[in-house]
Structure 1
C-alpha cells in the first residue's frame, strides 16, 4: 500500500512504457487504469481481512491502524482519478489535432490535384470538363489564395462556374416542364452549391402562380375580390397541400418552400390587388371603409382556411400567415378609426342638412328662432305645415341608423385590440348628439311654432298633431334601437356613459314632444269652441220645431272630434294618448257647458239639446277616462232642467247627480229657460236664487 500511496507510482508506471504515438499513449492509459483497479481491489481485500481479525481478536489499536490505512487508500484513489482525468483530456486533445492534420492533408492533396487540372484549361476553350463540386471548391480555393499567378485560372473558373450554373438551371426548368421530379431534384441539389437555389425557387413559384391573374377593375370590387380569394385558395390547395410531397422531394425537408409560396401568393398577388383598390383616388371614404371591411373579412376567412389546410401537413405556419395578413392591412388599420369617425360624422351631418332643408332655415346645433316670411296667414300656415311634412318624411327615410350599424360592425372587426368598445361609443355619441339635439329638436321647434299661428284652422291643427305624433313614434323606435346597440356593442363603462347620455337627450325630446302634443289638444278644444260659436244658431234650442236629430253645430263638432280622437289613438301608444284624451275630455266638457250656458232653451226644444248632449257624451266616452265621463254625465243630466215643467224643479234639484252641482251653475242654467221670467221660476227655487 506504500507504493500505492504516491502519485509517483503512477508516473513511474507511465515511464516504463515508450509513449511514441497516440496508440502508445492510449495503451499506457489503459495499463494505469488496470493497475489502479487492481490496487483498489487489493486494498478492499486487506480491509475485509483486518475487519475479520478485529472481530476475532478485538483491540482498539488495530482498529485505529485499519482506519488510518483506509483513509490513505481513499486519498491515493482520488489522486489516481485526477491523473486519469488529465490523461483523458490530453488524449482527446491529441486526437482532435491529429484529425485536423489528416483533413488538411487530404484537402491539400485535393487542391493540388484541382490546380494541376488548370494546365489543361484554355480560356478560349468553351467545353472545359470538370466535376461541378470540384469546380465549386476550386473557385473558393482560388478566391481564398488571392495570388496574381492564378488570375488567369480564376477567370477561367469564374466563366465555367457561371456556365455550369446556367446549364443546371436550364436543366431544372426543362425538368419542370416535363414534370420530371427526379431531374429537378438533381439539378436543384447541384445549384444549392452554386448559390442558385433561390433562382430555382423563384422560377418554381413564378410558374405555379402564373395562372393567378387577379383582375383589378373598379366596376365591381366585391365580385373581383371573391374571384381573387377563390383563385388564391385554389392555388394553395393545388400547389402546396396537394403537392407537398413533391415539394419536399425537390427542395428538401428543411427548405422554406411552403413559406415562400405563401409569401408569393399573399404578399405579391393579393396584397397589390387590395391596395390598388383601397389607395384609389376615385372612391369615396364610405366606399373605402366598405372595401376595407370586406377585404379584411374575406382575407381573414381565407387565411383561417389556409392555416387549417397547412396544419394537416404537420406544419405550423400560423405566425407566418398572420404576419402576411398583417402586412396587407396594417397600413390602413393604423388610421382606420379616424376615417370611420369622420365618415359617419359627415354622413349624419349630411342627413341633418337634407332633412331640415325644407324648413328653409339656418342650420345650427342649438335651438334657433324660426321666422316665416309674412304672406297671408292661411298661406303662411299651409307653407309651414308642408315644410314640416317634407322634413318628417325625409327623417323617416334617412339611413342614419343603417350607417351607424355598418360603422359599428366595421369598428368591431377593424379597431385595434382593446379599442372596439371606446371607438363604438364615439360613433354612437355622434348619432345621439346630431339626431337629438339637432334634427329632432329643430323639427319640433318648427312644428311648435306652427301651433302658435294666430287663427290656425282645425285642419292644420290635426295635421300638425299627426306630424308630431309620427315623429314621436319614429323617435321612440330610434331610441329603442340606440339602446340595443349600446348594450350590444359597448363594455360596461362605455355603456353606462352612453346610456346616461341617451336617457338625458331622449328625455328632453320626449318632454318637448309631449308639450307640443298638449298644445295641439288645447288648440283642438279651442277649435271646438270656434265650431260651436260659428255654427250654433241662437234659435237652435228655442225656435220653431224642425224635427232634427242634432243641431248643425253639434254635427260638425262631432265629425271634427271623431277624426281627431281617432288620429290621437292611432298615432300614439296608450301611455301617451290616454293623458292627452283625458285633457281633451276635460277641456271639451268645459267648452260645451260654457257654450250651453249662453243659449235660451225652450221646453219644446230641450229634447234637441238633450240629443246634442248625448252626441257629446259619446265623444267623452271615446276619451276613455271614467272621471271625465262622470263629470260630463252630471252636466248632461242638467238638460232635464230645461225639459221638466217649472213646478218639478224644486224636487229635481235635490236629486243626484244634480244635487252635487254648485248653486251658481244651476242658477246659470235655469236662468236660460225660456219661461224663466214668465213662469217666475226664481220664486220656485228660493234656495238657489235668493242666495
Structure 2
C-alpha cells in the first residue's frame, strides 16, 4: 500500500481520483460486487493510505522548513559579502582618484622638465650643428682643399643632405664677393649632386614599394628645391603604364587611379591635398587632354557633313563624361577650390568650345538643306534657291514637270527629321554653351528651323498649292487639294509651337532672345496664315464658281411653264449643286478643324447664300415656277445646316420665307408679310421679291404691300 501511495506522489501529475480507484481495486482484487465483499477491509485500506499521506505531509513540511532556514542563512552570508565588496569598491575608487591626481601632477612635472631639457639641449645641438657647419664651410672656403670627394659615402647620405643644406643656406646669406664665389659654386655643385642622389633613392624606394624609405627621402627633399621634382617623379611613376592600354576607358580609370593612389599619398606626404591636386592636374593635362585631341582632331581634317556631325556628337559625349568625372572627383573633396575641376575641364576643351557654336549652326543648316534636297530628289517640292528665280517661276517649273499637279507634297517625315535634328543640336547647345552664348545659339538654332520648315518647305508648298487651285469659273467639279495643304500646314505649325513651348521657351525665359524669337516665330506664322487666307478665298471662289455654272444651266422658261406642273421635289440642277456643296464641306471637315473650320464654313455659307439670292433674282416666276424655286430653296435650306453657322441658317430661313412670297395667293399676301421672318424686313426687300412674280402688275401687288407698310 505504501509503495502505491508513494508512486502516485512521485508521478508528474498527482491524481487523487486515480489513487482512490487504485486503492479500492487493490483492496478487493476488483470484486466489488462479490457477495463476500467486506467494506471494513476497504475502510481500513483507505485509513492506512490517509495515514501514509499525513506522514508524507509532515515530512514535506519539515523539509520545506529546513530549506527555508538554509536559504535565509545563505542570503545573509551573500548580503554580508556584497556589503564588504561595496566597501572595498568605494575604497578602491577613492584610491584610483588619488592616483590619477598624482599621475597628473607627475605628468605636468615631466613636461616641465622636458621643456627645460629641450631649452638646454637645443642650443647645445645648435652649437654642435653650427660648429660642424663652420668646419665644413672652412674647407669649402679653402681654395687649396679638394672637396670633390666630400659626401661620397652613400651610407651617410642623410647626414650629408643635412650638412649641405645648412651650408647652402649659409652661403646664400654671404655677399657676392670674389672670395666667396668659389665656395658658393662648390657647395651648389654638391647640393645638386646630393639632391639628385636623394631623388634617385626615392625612385628606387618607390619601385621597391618601401614606404618607410620613401617617407624618409620625402622629408629630406622637403628642404631642397627638388621637392617638387620628387612629387612629380612620384606622380610619373604612379601613372607609368596605367593608361597605355588603348581599350581602357579613361573616364572610368581616373577615379580608380585616385582611389588607388590617395591612400599612399596621405601616408607619405605632410600636405596630401597639394600632391593630389598636382596628380589630377597632371592626369588632365598629360592624359585626358591628348585623349580628347586624338578623338576629335581626325574629324576636323576632313570637315564634311558626316564628319562634322560625328565631331559634334563626340565633343558632346566627351564633355558630358568629363563633367561627370569632375563631379565624381569633387565628391571626394580633392580640392578646397570648388572651381578647381571646372577650370581643368575648361583647359581641356577650351580650343574646341571656341569654335563650337560656328560648327553647330553651320552643320545644322547644312543638314536642313540635305533633307530638303532629298525631298526634292524623291519627287518633293522645288525649293527656292539663290538662282534669281521667283517663287512663281519655280512653281511654274513644277507644274510643267509633273503629270499630277494637284498632288499634295507636304512631308511629315521632313518635319519630323528637321525637329529631330534641332532637338539633337539643342541638347548639345545646352551642354556645351553657357550664359548669353547659349541663349544666342538657341535663338539661331530655332530660327534655322523656322526658315527650313516654315519658309522653305511650308511656304513654298502653300504657294504651289495656291497655283494648283482651279480658276473662279471651272467647268468640272473642282478637286480642291488646298484643304489638305491647310491640314498639313496646321500639323507642322502645331509641331513647331509644341516644341517651342515645351523645349525652347523654358531655356530662354527672361532673356532678350526670348522676345526676338517670339517675333521671328510670329512673323513666319503670320506669312503662312496670309497664304492660307488667300488660298481659302480662292478655293471658295472656285467652289462657288462651279456651283454658279451649274445654276446657269437653268433657263427663264423653266420657271414660267405654260401648263401647271405637279412639283414634289427639287430640280436636278439643285441636286447637283447640293451634292457638290456637300462634297466640298466633307473635304473641309476632313482637313480643317476647330475655329478654323467654323470660320471657313461660315464664309462658305455666306457666299453660297449670296449665290442663291443672285440666282433667284435672275428669273420671273409664275405659280408653277415659284413652287419649283421654293422646292430648290427648301433643299438649299437643309444644306445650310451643314455650315455649322446660326447666321447662315437664319439667312436661308429668311430666303425661304421670301421665296415663299412667289406662290402666296394675292389675297393672303398682306397677312403673310407680317408674320415670321418677314415681319422684321423692310418693304423694299419684300417688294424686290414680289416683283419677280409674273402677276405683280396685273394683280396690283404693289398696292397691297404699300398699304400694309
TM-score, normalised to structure 1, is 0.65
| Alpha-carbon distance in structure 1 between the residues aligned to 2:640 and 2:618 | 21
TM-superposed deviation, 1:121 = 11
Map residues 186-335 of structure 1 onto 2, 5 A cutoff: 186=216, 188-189=218-219, 195=226, 198=229, 202=233, 206-207=237-238, 210-212=241-243, 215=246, 227-240=249-262, 243=263, 246-253=264-271, 256-281=274-299, 284-310=307-333, 315-335=335-355
Aligned to 1:106: 132
Asked whether 1:497 is paired with 2:516, we answer yes
In 2, the alpha carbon distance for the partners of 1:270 and 1:459 equals: 71
Is 1:172 equivalent to 2:206 in the alignment? Answer: yes
- Go from structure 1 to structure 2 and tell me whether the alpha carbon gap of 1:453 and 1:588 turns closer, same or farther (over 3 Å shift): closer
Decide whether aligned partners of structure 1 residues 413 and 365 sit closer, same or farther in structure 2, where only a CA change above 3 A counts.
farther
Q: 1:366: how far off? A: 10
Q: Distance in 2 between matches of 1:471 and 1:497?
A: 23
Determine which of 645, 649, 665 is the counterpart of 1:625: 645
SS at match of 2:409: helix
| 1:641–1:663 CA distance, 2 compared to 1 (3 A) | closer
Give 1:303 deviation, angstroms.
0.9
Q: 1:616 to 1:454 in 2, by over 3 A?
A: closer
Tell me if 1:181 matches 2:200.
no
For 1:209 and 1:155, locate their aligned partners in 2 and report how far apart those are by CA, in whole Å: 31
1:345 aligns with 2:365: yes
d(CA) in 2 for partners of 1:407, 1:639: 65
Distance 1:157 1:651 in 2: 133
Name the residue aligned to 1:670: 693
For residues 495-539 of structure 1, the C-alpha deviation after alignment (integer angstroms, 9 at most, x for no partner) is: 333333433443333223222212212222122223445699987
Shift of 1:571: 3.6
Structure 1 residue 414: Cα displacement: 2.9
1:368 paired to 2:390: yes
After TM superposition, give the deviation of residue 328 of structure 1 in Å. 0.9
In 2 relative to 1, CA 416–648 (structure 1 residues): closer, same or farther, beyond 3 Å? closer
**1:508 aligns with one of 527, 530, 537:** 527
RMSD: 5.1
Preserved contact between residue 474 and residue 545 of structure 2 (Cα < 8 Å): no
| CA distances 1:257-277 after superposition (whole Å, capped 9, x unpaired) | 212321233333332222222
Per the alignment, residue 81 of structure 1 pairs with: none
Aligned 1:371-386 pairs, distance under 5 A = 371=393, 383-386=404-407
Write the deviation string for residues 180-230 of structure 1: whole angstroms up to 9, x where unpaired.
5334434555676794874675455544674456757xxxxxxx9xx5433
Are the equivalent residues in 2 in contact too, given 1:606–1:639 (CA < 8 A)?
Answer: yes
Corresponding residue for 1:474?
492
| 1:633 positional shift | 1.3
CA deviations over 1:471-490 (Å, ceiling 9, x no partner): 14422552464467356415
TM-superposition CA deviations, 1:9-63 (whole Å, max 9, x none): xxxxxxxxxxxxxxxxxxxxxxxxxxxxxxxxxxxxxxxxxxxxxxxxxxxxxxx
CA contact (8 A) 1:274 1:295 kept: yes
Instruction: Name structure 1 gaps, 5 residues minimum.
Output: 1-96, 217-223, 672-679
**What does residue 110 of structure 2 align with?**
none
Instruction: Return the alpha-carbon distance in structure 1 between the equivalents of residues 316 and 443 of structure 2.
Output: 19
Q: What residue number does 2:13 align with?
A: none
For the 8 Å contact 2:289–2:348, the answer to whether it is kept is yes
What is the CA distance between 1:664 and its match in structure 2?
A: 6.2
* Cα distance in 2 for residues equivalent to 1:132 and 1:556: 117
Distance 2:574 2:309 in 1: 59
* Structure-2 separation of matches of 1:422 and 1:209: 44
> Quick one: distance in 2 between partners of 1:215 and 1:106?
56
- CA separation in 2, counterparts of 1:238 and 1:537? 105
Residue 446 of structure 1: aligned partner: 464
Return the offset for 1:585.
0.9
Decide which structure has the larger Cα Rg and report it: 2
Residues 578-612 of structure 1, C-alpha deviations (whole Å, 9 max, x = no match): 33222211211232344456678786787775554
Paired position in structure 1 for 2:442:
424
Q: C-alpha separation between the residues in 1 aligned to 2:398 and 2:370?
A: 33
| TM-score with structure 2 setting the length | 0.63
Partner of 1:462, secondary structure, is coil
Instruction: Say if 1:663 and 1:454 are closer, same or farther in 2 by CA, change over 3 A.
Output: closer
Distance 2:140 2:208 in 1: 31
Contact 1:540/1:551, CA 8 A, preserved across alignment: no
- Equivalent residue in structure 2 for 1:522, among 508, 533, 541: 541
Query: Is this contact kept in 2: 1:208–1:239, CA < 8 A?
Result: no
In structure 2, what is the Cα distance between the partners aligned to 1:273 and 1:544?
101
Change (3 A) 1:644 1:319: closer
